Structure 1
Amino acid sequence: MPTPVAKTRHETPMGFRVWRVDHELPMRHAHTHGDVEINFLPPDPRARITYFIAGRRADVHSGHAGIFWGGVPHQLIEHQGPRDGIWITLPLAWFLKCNFPNNFAARLMQGQLFTLPLSADRAAQWLREFDAGPAHHRPILLELEALFARLALAAPARRPAAPRADSLSAIERITSFLALHYQQALSIDDLAAHARLHPKYLMTAFRQATGTTVKTYLLRLRIAHAQRLLATTDMRVLDIAMHSGFGSLSRFYETFDRYVGSRPLVYRRQNQA
C-alpha cells in the first residue's frame, strides 16, 4: 500500500481516450477528474486492483473491468499481478446523454464502482481502433453504450427523469467545480455563477442528471474525503473535519453519522489497514 497522504489531486477531464497502462502502481495520491473511467485487467489469476472510492474499498479482478466516475475522489491503493491493463475514459456528457435505465448514471456519480467480465481480445481491439484515429472511434462508443445498458438492466433501481440536453455541459461544469472546491465553503449562488445558470434551474437540472441534490452531492464528496483520511492516515478527527470542508466538528459528526451510520473513530477502527 502507498504511503498515506491527505492531498487529493484534481485533474482536468481527459475526454474519450483508450490507452495501455504499464507503469508502476498503486497511486500515491487520491485524485479526481470529470470523466467516467474503465479499468480492465488482463486474464491472469494473480491480477487484482483495489480502489478506495466513496469511503470503501472496491476490488477489480482478473478478466474484469471496473467502471466508476472520476469526479468522486478515488485512489488505487493495491495492485497484484502484472503491471499492465487497458484504461478508458469517457466524457461525462456522452455518458449522461445515453440515459441508461435504472438510475445507473446517478449511482455511478454517487460513488458506486461496477464490475463486469470483459475479454482481453475485445479490450485490445478497442485499443487498436482508438489508435487508428477518429474515424474508428464510433464503433467503440456504440459497443460501450450497449455494454453499459446491459449492466444497468442487470442492476435494477429507480430511473430518474431524463436530463435536458442543454443542461449536460452545465452539469459537467458544476461537478468539475465541486471536485475542485468541495473542501471550501460553497453556496448555490457560487455554483450558479460558475455554471452561468439561474440557481433554481441549476438545482432542478442537477437533480435530474445525478439523481440527488447539489447539497447532498457536496456532502457526499466531503464525507468520502473524510472516510479516506480516516482509513489511510493518522490525522486527528478535528483536522480531518476541517480538511474535508466542514466548518465545525459537531457538524462533521452529525453528517458522518447520517451518511455512514457510525462515528468517525469507529469507522477508522473497522477500516484502517
Structure 2
Amino acid sequence: MPEKFDLKPDTLAASQGAFWVERHIANTMASAHWHNHVELNLLPAGRMTYLFNGKQEYVEANRLILFWAAIPHQTIEVSDNASLVCIYLPLADFLGLSVDRDIRRSIMQGKFLSNPRIDISDAMAAERWVEDWSGGDPMRRELIVEEVRLRVRRLILDGKAGKEWLSVRSKATSSGPAVRHAETLTDLINEHFAEPLSMSQLAKLAGIHPATANKAFRDVLGISVNEYLTRYRIARAMQLLADTNIAVLNIAYDCGFGSSSRFYEAFKDRTGQTPLAFRRIVGGSDVDE
C-alpha cells in the first residue's frame, strides 16, 4: 500500500483537483507531500527553502514561484511567522495555457520556476486574490482564475525573455549531512528513474551505506526511498500522458514500471484514477495500450 499523507483541512478542495487559493503561516513539513496541481507561491515577507526534485530551492519575499506539485516537495527551512499565499492551478488548466511548450514540459519534469525579478504588484495581487477568494463570490472567483492564468503566462514569457526562468539556488542554507544525503538520493532518482532501481543500488551510486541512506531520507523527507521513487515515476508518467500520444504500455516501461499492471495499480492507488482516465481528464490523446 502507498504511504498516506494528510493535507491541511483548508486545502481539501485543492487536494481533490480544484482551483484553490489560500494563505497560511508556513512551517517546516514533517514529510514530503504532493498533489496534482501546478502550484504558485508568494511570500509577502520572510524566506523559506523547499527540498524539491533533488535540490534546495530558495523562496525569496515577493518573488513569485511556480512548480509542478505532483513531484514530492517539502519545506525544510522557514523564517518565523512567514505568511505564505498558495494558488493551486489544476493541471488541465495549466496544459490549456498558450505557453512555450518546452518550458511547460520542463516544469512538468521538475524544473522550479522563479520570477526573474521581484514585482511588488504580485504581492498586491496575491492579497486581493486571497480576500476575494475567501469572500466566496462566484463571479470574483472566476475573475481570479482568469487573472492567475494570465499571470502564469506572463511569468513564463518574462522568464524565457530573460533566459532566467530556472530558479537561483545560491541562497539555500540547509546543509546538514541528512539533507545532503537526501539531495543526492533524489537527484539520482531523477536521473535513473526509468531504470530498475533498488535501495542498495541507489546507496552504492551515492557512495552511502544503505542504512545511512534510508535513515537520512526518512529523517528529511518523512517517506521511504521506494515511495519517493514510485511517486516521482508517476509524476513523470503524468507529463507523458498529458503532453504526448505515447501508448500507456510504453509510458509504463519508459517510467521504470516493469509491467502495465504494476503501473496501473500504482497510478490508481496514488491518484484515484486509471492512467487512461487521467489522460482524458487533462485533454491528452485517447491512446490505448
Q: TM-score, normalised by structure 2?
A: 0.51
Matched, 1:148 2:152: yes
Q: Distance in 1 between matches of 2:62 and 2:6?
A: 29
- Indicate the residue corresponding to 2:55 in structure 1: 56
How far does residue 214 in structure 1 lie from its aligned partner after superposition? Answer: 3.3
Q: Distance in 1 between matches of 2:23 and 2:130?
A: 8
How far does residue 215 in structure 1 lie from its aligned partner after superposition? Answer: 5.5
- Indicate the residue corresponding to 2:42 in structure 1: 40
Q: Distance in 1 between matches of 2:39 and 2:25?
A: 17
How far does residue 103 in structure 1 lie from its aligned partner after superposition? Answer: 2.3
Q: 196, 209, 214: which is aligned to 2:251? A: 214
Q: Distance in 2 between matches of 1:63 and 1:203?
A: 33
Q: Distance in 2 between matches of 1:29 and 1:17?
A: 22
How far does residue 81 in structure 1 lie from its aligned partner after superposition? Answer: 4.2
Sequence identity of aligned pairs in percent?
Answer: 27
- Indicate the residue corresponding to 2:74 in structure 1: 75
Q: Distance in 2 between matches of 1:85 and 1:203?
A: 31
1:178-211 CA-partner distances (Å, limit 9, x unpaired): xx89639x99xxx9xxx9xxxxxx96754269xx
Q: Which runs of 5+ in 2 are unaligned?
A: 8-14, 162-226, 257-289
One-letter code aligned to 1:183: T
- Indicate the residue corresponding to 2:19 in structure 1: 16
One-letter code aligned to 1:28: A
How far does residue 135 in structure 1 lie from its aligned partner after superposition? Answer: 1.6
Taking a change above 3 Å as real, the CA distance of residues 181 and 26 of structure 1, as seen in their structure-2 partners, is: closer
Q: Distance in 2 between matches of 1:19 and 1:154?
A: 25
Q: Distance in 1 between matches of 2:243 and 2:143?
A: 30
One-letter code aligned to 2:139: A
Q: Distance in 2 between matches of 1:61 and 1:214?
A: 36
1:106-255 mapped onto 2 (5 Å cutoff): 106-116=105-115, 117-118=118-119, 119-133=122-136, 134-156=138-160, 183=230, 206-207=243-244, 214=251, 218=255
Q: Distance in 2 between matches of 1:203 and 1:120?
A: 34
One-letter code aligned to 2:66: I
Q: Distance in 1 between matches of 2:158 and 2:58?
A: 19
Q: Distance in 2 between matches of 1:140 and 1:217?
A: 37
Q: CA RMSD of the aligned region, Å?
A: 3.6
How far does residue 125 in structure 1 lie from its aligned partner after superposition? Answer: 0.4
Taking a change above 3 Å as real, the CA distance of residues 61 and 114 of structure 1, as seen in their structure-2 partners, is: same
Secondary structure at the residue paired with 1:9?
coil
One-letter code aligned to 2:251: V
1:98-109 mapped onto 2 (5 Å cutoff): 98-109=97-108
